[in-house]
Amino acid sequence: MTLRVVSLLLIVSLLAGCRSLFGPPVYGPSSPQPSQQPGTPQPEPGTPSPQQPVPTPVPPTPQQQPKEFRLGPASAALVKQSRTQSVKGEYPAAVATLERALRIEPDNPLVWLELGQVHLASRNPTQAESMGRKAIALATGNPMVQANGWRLVGDALRARGKDLDASEAYSRAGAASPR
């Protein structure tokens, strides 16, 4: 019998030691907190208790700065090369050069705008419009780049004789421009 009592005491002391190792006791919703007396009225859920500070509302964040797009060094060199080719009238070479830049930075709307300008200069307004729309889609967060994309779309539509659609694109460019 004494062996059972000693074993029981040993188990209880081990469990008490484990309890202190794993942190303070967790009280469920029905068990009282140590600072509260049994029979004390519980506050409504969601209302701050006298011990808890009242949370202060967080002020709204200021309007975010526009997202900036920049060309990486390799893409910038390719864009410069394509501009030189385009000035010389070497449009297929300029397109190929910009397609290399797109393989480096496929999500950069600045490269898509450059490619659209080359297509427009090479009398391919359908492709230019497509490139402008792609640039607009990628330029979320930067109204200036989006406005440039809408201007490219407007120029491409005007070159195709769609003046009404072109004027709508120009008005979208004006609305997107932060001026």
- Using CA atoms, how far residue 178 sits from 97, 162, 172, 173, in Å, is 31, 26, 12, 10
> Per-residue confidence at 69, pLDDT binned at 50, 70, 90?
confident
Nearest to 112 by CA among 146, 160, 87, 154: 146
Identify the residue whose tokens are 């607009």: 136
More confident of the two residues 171 and 49: 171
87 token code pair:
């000035």
Q: What is residue 104's predicted lDDT score, i.e. its pLDDT?
A: 94
Nearest to 144 by CA among 175, 107, 169: 175
Assign 49 to helix, strand or coil.
coil
Query: Which residue segments constitute the domains of the chain, with CATH numbers given?
Result: 73-176 (1.25.40.10)
90 token code pair:
């070497």
Q: What is residue 70's predicted lDDT score, i.e. its pLDDT?
A: 87
- Separation CA 96–CA 119 (nearest Å): 11
Taking 60 as the threshold, does the pLDDT of residue 32 lie above it? no
